[in-house]
Structure 1
Amino acid sequence: MSLETFWFALVAVLFVMYFVLEGFDFGVGMLLPFLGRRSEPDGDKRRRLLLTTIGPVWDGNEVWLITGGGALFAAFGGWYATMFSAFYLPLFLILIGLIVRVVAIEWRGKINDPRWRAWCDVGIGLGSWLPAILWGVAFANVVRGIPIDAEHQYTGGFFNLLNPYALLGGLTTVLCFITHGAVFIALKSHGAVRDDAQTVAWRLAIPTAAVAAGFLLWTQFAYGKGWTWTLVAIAAVAAVVMVIGAYLRREGIAFAATCIAIAATVGLLFAVLFPNVLPSLTDSAYDLTVANTSSSHYTLVVMTWAAGIMTPVVLLYQGWTYWVFRQRLTIDRIPEAGGLPLREEVPVK
């Protein structure tokens, strides 16, 4: 295996890790207003429990995106440049969503004011729904290809990216992430929240499997190779197991299945793409490939040594974090809302 191929595979693995781990974070954020309804007496405690399920890990999960983006920039500068210029608006909106989500999660408990927390919940929802949709749209367009000229410049517009295949990709990621999040909440909680999450997971399981199956088959028939049927089969079996696990309320089995299904789906997108990294709809001669966008051999050698040293450290640390915070949560363990007092309650000196 050449270093170029190795780094293409490694970039794929980094994005697989990101979508599997950050996927349930997005799902929790999207489910926040549904599993923590304000009309319920314990609505605020429910929302805080949901955020606590991802509290120790959500920022660590985002490291995979930073690492994936950095690896893409360093190993395939031409791919990075063309893709980021072509997808400037979608990626900008994803970045805004992620920033708003980070700020909302971190600042939600800083002021003891229901209105403040309500606005933060809006930010968490926006920062979860927007990336969940746009990541699917972006990656589907990478597989489908975009108008690129001989100078590897994007010649289309924003609405070129909103084609039926890309929109189906966005719907697939939204449904997969929200189902993934519901199963994760059930796995991490006890009591009424767990029951409600299991119900949501079961209701979403079949629609999610159906939409994902449509996207997988479209991808395979339009862009796939003979051996990539293996990834389609793995994703299909995992989806069936997810549906059965959700029906039986076995969230452990269902969560493992959603992880495998998401990993196989993202792996399929990279597999059908190779050896291209960004096809050109203008002329196949203008395709961006692993060979014509990679960095120098020396750069890839240095990166390989750095990755070989640091990747096991990151995996061990993140695995340890999940192990330490493996316990289930209940509402009675969530303290009353605290933080800074309401502004009008601050005594005047």
Structure 2
Amino acid sequence: MEILWFGILAVLLAGYFALEGFDIGVGLLLPFTGERDRAVGAIAPFVLANEVWLVGLAGVLFGAFPVLEGEVLSELYPVVVGLLVSWVVRDAGLWFRRRLDGSGWRSFWTAAVAAGSLGLALSWGGVIAGITGAPALLGVVYGVVVAVVFAFHGWTFLAWRLPGEAVAQGASRTGRGLALSAAVAVAPVVAPLAVLAPDVLGEAAPSATLSVLSLMVLPVVPLMVGAQIWVWRVFRRGAVPTFF
């Protein structure tokens, strides 16, 4: 049972990096593109669906690996707070940047999207490095690595989502290219997780608790997967929303 829930944890974490990674990456690239409304509109339909993976990850940590969750919150509290603040700032920028007209208003919230995206990438690098026991300086370096791979993923996503635009010149415009960039985005979290697997398994909740969680959670998984497939089928091509 512990192996099953470790697998669920790994899939949720990898799924978050693969999907939310391009959202964060596009946010990082906003200061460097002149087609910011088109770029934000390209990720708009996917943001909330991709964040569900993080919510699910937090739930699995709380229910199946409470000791690990406690260690992350206590030992990496500043980094976790930075991650949450960055999440709020990035999402606030996405929601508010088109609520009023005016270049100053839009520029401010566009900067908030970029700053929040950078904070998310750096914070995730710090969390991953901190879990492995690396010193704080290496956590900053790893955060930069995460930011770079997310930016690459976002660049590839824009080329795939907006094939007729000049938003991401030189990037692969195929689904295969996007899948490759997703694999690159996942690598910074999959490699440490594989190394830490024995330690994570040792901190799982009792088998009885995991069995009850399985009865409660596993029936919901097909709904989550189905919703993700629906979002991608509906919004993978076509007009870019202008609400954001």
Q: Compare relative contact order (CA 8 Å, sep 6+) and give the higher one, 1 or 2.
A: 2
**Shift of residue 91, structure 1, vs aligned partner:** 0.9
**Shift of residue 261, structure 1, vs aligned partner:** 2.7
Summarize the alignment of residues 143-158 of structure 1 with structure 2, pairs less than 5 Å apart: 143=132, 145=133
Q: State the secondary structure of the residue aligned to 2:166.
A: helix
Partner of 1:259: 182
Q: Residues 202-253 of structure 1, C-alpha deviation per residue, up to 9 Å, x if partnerless?
A: xxxxxxxxxxxxxxxxxxxxxxxxxxxxxxxxxxxxxxxxxxxx4xx44433
Q: Residues 247-297 of structure 1, C-alpha deviation per residue, up to 9 Å, x if partnerless?
A: xx44433211111233344222211112113xxxxxxxxxxxx33x32232
Partner of 2:148: 175
Contact 1:132 1:177 in 2 (8 A): yes
Contact 1:188 1:326 in 2 (8 A): yes
Contact 1:189 1:328 in 2 (8 A): no
Partner of 1:73: 62
TM-score by length of 2: 0.92
Q: Which has the larger radius of gyration?
A: 1
Contact 2:89 2:113 in 1 (8 A): yes
Partner of 2:42: 53
1:317 equivalenced with 2:240 (yes/no)? no
Q: State the secondary structure of the residue aligned to 2:99.
A: coil
Q: State the secondary structure of the residue aligned to 2:236.
A: coil
Partner of 2:197: 274
Contact 1:198 1:251 in 2 (8 A): no
Q: Distance in 2 between matches of 1:251 and 1:33?
A: 25
Q: Distance in 2 between matches of 1:301 and 1:181?
A: 38
**Shift of residue 316, structure 1, vs aligned partner:** 0.7
Partner of 2:168: 197
Q: In the comparison of the two structures, how many residue pairs are matched?
A: 244
Q: Distance in 2 between matches of 1:198 and 1:328?
A: 19
Q: State the secondary structure of the residue aligned to 2:101.
A: coil
Long gaps (5+) in structure 1: 37-45, 147-159, 200-245, 278-289, 340-349
**Shift of residue 103, structure 1, vs aligned partner:** 1.3
Contact 1:183 1:254 in 2 (8 A): yes
Q: Percent identity?
A: 32
Query: Structure 1 residues 315-324 or 3-12, which shifts more?
Result: 3-12
The structure where helix makes up a greater share of residues is 2
1:130 equivalenced with 2:138 (yes/no)? no
Q: Distance in 2 between matches of 1:33 and 1:312?
A: 38
Partner of 1:155: none
